[in-house]
Amino acid sequence: MDSHGRVLRDLRISITDRCNFRCLYCLPETEAAQNFYRGRWAHLPNSKPIQHEWVPRSQLLTFEEIARLVRISVSQGIRKIRVTGGEPLLRRDVPRLISLLSSIEGVEDLALTTNGFAFPPLAAALREAGLRRVTFSLDSLDPEIFQRMTGRDGLDQVLQSLRLARELGFQPLKVNAVIIKEINDGEIERLAEFARDENLSMRFIEFMPLDSARAWQRELVVPGREILQRLQSRFDLKPVASSHAAETARRWAFPDGRGEIGIIAPVSEPFCGHCNRLRLTADGKLRTCLFSVLEHNVKEVMRRESSDAPVASYLRKVVWGKEERHHIGEPEFVSPPRSMSCIGG
């Protein structure tokens, strides 16, 4: 529990900061991304871009260290684990990590977020290792816009991964789409239709200030309220009751029961008051908020302490100091020193 009375149940674990995509909202390093931002502004914003130096492999937490921290976290009340990146499937032998985590008593939900590009050759092994849920990133169904947003011609591979995940029994299937004005906001209705046709859960996510170029501007955000209004004018959506208070998405279902829509609006409608998440970076730093400017070196504590008790005590201390809220859009807001790829989704 933190000092604001929130009970943390969700631990998100980044296992690598590397990625094979260069998305506009995370690592906008492609010429197309730079042209888009320059098209919006006469020059890129004055904020200094984040200079990427990938974490050396020698500094990454080992799978055994990750499993130890999960076991200790579960002893303190964590119940949900999500493995993220960067792109987590770029790290070698991810099924072995999934096997370690799925065998920990008390882990009630184990999921993975991926861009899907490297999923097919690993899918069966991940399922066999104990993974039950997968979330894919899919920002566009138009090959040209997909490449513009991700820096990669990979739409067909992602769609193939979705089909394979369904065949292997991963449920529920979720898809994340970050909506950016003048890029993919014209596809909102089409993405919703895709969710119904494929009977999956589509999550529309507001564009957040976590890109390495520091080029985020609020004018590029399509507010969740606007997304919902557009969808309700096209579809007869029925609200879905939240399964738990800390759920970040507001959810709606189609009348025929096929597919679901979720809207995650951290910029226009913050949900900090019931946030129950803790994040672990690939190099062993704990973050108590996606937008934290502080990181806590739990790797150092784990490598110093052979007993679990001091590590558990350290976790409780870090969680107690969790921020009350983020300050996006306010004069005092300071962007995190690392981009989304390094923080973990």
The Cα–Cα gap between 276 and 287 comes to 12
Give tens-digit pLDDT for 198-243: 999 999 999 987 676 667 788 899 999 999 999 999 999 999 987 7
Is residue 3, in this structure, part of any structural domain at all?
Answer: no
Least Cα distance to 33 among 180, 178, 151 occurs for 151
Q: What is the pLDDT of residue 44?
A: 55
Least Cα distance to 136 among 79, 198, 211 occurs for 198
Among the residues of the chain, which ranges form H helices?
31-40, 63-75, 94-102, 123-129, 143-150, 155-167, 188-198, 224-234, 298-304, 308-320, 340-343
Mean pLDDT of 171-175: 95
The Cα–Cα gap between 72 and 54 comes to 28
Give tens-digit pLDDT for 237-265: 999 987 776 677 899 999 888 999 999 99
The Cα–Cα gap between 297 and 300 comes to 6
Is residue 118, in this structure, part of any structural domain at all?
Answer: yes
Is residue 2, in this structure, part of any structural domain at all?
Answer: no
Statement: residue 330 has pLDDT above 90: no
Q: How far is CA 315 from CA 59, 61, 141, 151, 297, in A?
A: 20, 17, 41, 38, 10
pTM for this one? 0.91
Burial of 307: CB neighbours in 10 Å, binned 0-12, 13-18, 19+: exposed
Is residue 4, in this structure, part of any structural domain at all?
Answer: no
pLDDT-based confidence at 332, cuts 50/70/90?
Answer: low
Residue 76 structural domain: 10-311+318-343
Pairing status of strand 250-253 against strand 260-264:
antiparallel
Give tens-digit pLDDT for 285-326: 999 988 787 899 999 999 999 999 999 999 999 999 998 877
Q: In this structure, are residues 283 and 60 in contact, taking their beta carbons and an 8 Å threshold?
A: yes
Specify the CATH number for the domain of residue 192. 3.20.20.70
Statement: residue 69 has pLDDT above 60: yes
Q: What is the pLDDT of residue 292?
A: 83
* Tally of domains within the chain: 1
Is residue 28, in this structure, part of any structural domain at all?
Answer: yes
Is residue 200, in this structure, part of any structural domain at all?
Answer: yes
Q: Phi/psi at 316 (nearest 5 deg)?
A: -60, -40
Statement: residue 341 has pLDDT above 80: no
Is residue 110, in this structure, part of any structural domain at all?
Answer: yes
Is residue 5, in this structure, part of any structural domain at all?
Answer: no
Quote the distance between the C-alpha of residue 179 and its chain's center.
14
Statement: residue 51 has pLDDT above 60: no
Burial of 253: CB neighbours in 10 Å, binned 0-12, 13-18, 19+: middle
Alpha-carbon dihedral sign for residues 182, 184, 190, 196: negative
Please tell me whether residue 10 adopts helix, strand or coil conformation. strand
